[in-house]
């Protein structure tokens, strides 16, 4: 009873913190030519040094380019013209495009470097539902084909490639993918190409996405790929829990990522870390690494709070997740891989999770058998090693752990400590384990024999104490954007 009371208090506190965070407002735009007062955003990581950054030098409103915020008029040309115009300032102090209150319908658009997209309070950007406005682009090289279908993919709604210093933020405005038409076409097999994502930035660095609400993406919501030094902070992501593949935040072959203070309700994983698919990911060879996830609240009845894979052929390492709350979700942490994936998932650290109504607390599978084509090598095995879970309280759980490795490549170095899972009435055993090896301490219910108990005096599972460079980024809303 005491543990349940403590977990309820922690849950309430986390929600209060979240509500306070999304109510924070930012200074309104007042001038066309900003003045720098010499107090830029502290801790902006640039290269190998931490430096201050001044405010954007130029500001414009999308209304200046003829946009009409009535929710009906197409503003595709206005958004394209605005960003093309502001791109001229990318090497001269940067620019900010302001989207005022209103409902702004537009087709997909590309961002530019040294650029801020700022949505004022009550501003809503609506994605066009006219598929003719969504051109077909090449598949990602680490996937070899579209994720839904062979071949290319529809472009992403907000896209950027080879950029640096990009900020997508605001006063809790909304970006709405209007994905219903796409979900229905996908379910009815009426699409010839893979759906695009709500936001995708590729081959880019120094990215901040904050203080906005993202809803109803066609597929994944936030997808940084082949990118580095990324902060996703204080955002809300909402999609119907039956919507297909509407993952929340999916870092993909990315390094130095920080995801914090986010509230996500989705039809798929709230956060999924990826790094390419089978032979294409192995050849591309870019891991996802040095990733922080903290103060995340998730609802995902059919998927995971945090997923690693299944596309992990470039490798995933050094992931640090803490202070996670989940309600009515399928699994707390899910590792997905299969023979033919290659790559690795290693040095994964998770602590302080509060979970309410779960199918599994921990899930690992080495038989997640989706492949891009028949060219993969089934003899190429993934490495899963060094997985640490600690300080977890779970209530109303069907199973504590469903941990199934690969006979030819067992999952090793698993450590689970200080975990209490209160079981729901179920005929299932609390643990199901095969082809795994590790240790446990202070875990209830008693784990499977492949995870022997080391006793209550055993040291807790490790969690890194060093600070990653991305931790040094401080978000100063008033002076930079």
Could you give the CA distance from residue 437 to residue 412 in angstroms, rounded to a whole number?
Answer: 5
Region of 19 (left: φ > 0; alpha: ψ -120 to 50; beta: rest) is alpha
- The burial class, CB within 10 Å (0-12 / 13-18 / 19+), for 423 is middle
| 307: β partners | 272, 334
**In Å, how far are 130, 402, 459 from 435, measured between CA atoms?**
49, 12, 24
Strand ranges (E), 211-343:
213-215, 222-225, 228-233, 236-238, 255-265, 271-273, 288-299, 304-308, 316-336
Could you give the CA distance from residue 209 to residue 245 in angstroms, rounded to a whole number?
Answer: 21
Could you give the CA distance from residue 419 to residue 479 in angstroms, rounded to a whole number?
Answer: 43
Closest CA to 364 of 426, 432, 305: 432
Could you give the CA distance from residue 25 to residue 271 in angstroms, rounded to a whole number?
Answer: 26
Bond into 310 cis (ω within 30):
yes
Could you give the CA distance from residue 295 to residue 22 in angstroms, rounded to a whole number?
Answer: 13
Could you give the CA distance from residue 147 to residue 38 in angstroms, rounded to a whole number?
Answer: 46
Answer whether 101's CB lies under 8 Å from 120's CB.
Answer: yes
The verdict on whether 268 is a catalytic residue reads yes
**In Å, how far are 17, 127, 180, 223 from 269, measured between CA atoms?**
23, 22, 18, 13
**In Å, how far are 39, 56, 113, 136, 480 from 43, measured between CA atoms?**
11, 17, 19, 38, 12
DSSP string, 140-161: PTTTSS-SSSSS-EEPPSEEEE
Q: Which helix (H) or strand (E) covers residue 71, if one does?
A: strand 70-74
- The one catalytic residue in 268, 269, 323, 435 is 268
Which residues form the catalytic set?
Answer: 268
């Amino acid at each position: 009873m005491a543990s349940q009371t403590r977990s309820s208090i922690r849950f309430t506190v986390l929600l209060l913190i979240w509500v306070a965070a999304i109510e924070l407002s930012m200074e309104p735009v007042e001038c066309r030519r900003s003045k720098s007062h010499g107090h830029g955003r502290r801790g902006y990581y640039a290269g190998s040094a931490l430096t201050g950054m001044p405010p954007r030098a130029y500001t414009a409103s999308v209304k200046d380019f003829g946009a009409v915020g009535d929710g009906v008029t197409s503003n595709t040309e206005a958004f394209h013209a605005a960003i093309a115009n502001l791109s001229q300032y990318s090497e001269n102090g940067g620019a900010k495009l302001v989207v005022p209150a209103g409902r702004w319908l537009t087709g997909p658009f590309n961002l530019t470097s040294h650029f801020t997209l700022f949505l004022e309070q009550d501003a809503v950007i609506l994605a066009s539902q006219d598929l003719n406005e969504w051109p077909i682009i090449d598949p990602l090289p680490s996937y070899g084909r579209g994720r839904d279908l062979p071949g290319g993919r529809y472009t992403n709604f907000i896209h950027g490639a080879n950029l640096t210093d990009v900020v997508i933020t605001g006063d809790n405005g909304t970006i709405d993918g209007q994905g219903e038409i796409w979900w229905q076409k996908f379910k009815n097999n009426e699409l010839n190409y893979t759906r695009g994502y709500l936001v995708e930035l590729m081959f880019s660095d120094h990215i901040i996405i904050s203080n906005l609400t993202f809803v109803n993406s066609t597929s994944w919501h936030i997808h940084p790929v082949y990118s580095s030094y990324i902060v996703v902070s204080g955002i809300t992501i909402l999609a119907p829990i039956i919507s297909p593949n509407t993952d929340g935040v999916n870092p993909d072959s990315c390094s130095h990522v920080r995801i914090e203070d986010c509230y996500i309700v989705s039809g798929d994983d709230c956060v999924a870390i990826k790094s390419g698919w089978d032979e294409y990911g192995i050849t591309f060879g870019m891991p996802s690494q040095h990733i922080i996830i903290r103060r995340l609240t998730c609802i995902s009845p059919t998927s995971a709070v945090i997923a690693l894979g299944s596309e992990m052929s470039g490798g995933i390492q050094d992931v640090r997740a803490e202070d996670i709350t989940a309600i009515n979700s399928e699994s707390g942490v899910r590792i997905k891989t299969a023979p033919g994936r290659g790559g690795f998932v290693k040095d994964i650290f998770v602590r302080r999770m509060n979970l309410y109504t779960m199918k599994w607390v921990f899930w690992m599978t080495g038989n997640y058998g989706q492949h891009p084509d028949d060219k993969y090598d089934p003899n190429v095995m993934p490495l899963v090693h060094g997985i640490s879970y600690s300080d977890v309280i779970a209530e109303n759980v069907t199973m504590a752990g469903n941990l199934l490795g690969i006979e030819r490549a067992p999952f090793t170095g698993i450590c689970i400590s200080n975990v209490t899972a209160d079981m729901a009435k179920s005929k299932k055993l609390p643990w199901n384990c095969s082809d795994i090896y590790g240790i446990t301490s202070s875990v209830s219910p008693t784990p499977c024999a492949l995870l022997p108990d080391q006793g209550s005096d055993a040291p807790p599972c490790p969690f890194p104490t060093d600070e990653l460079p991305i931790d040094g980024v401080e978000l100063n809303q008033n002076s930079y954007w």
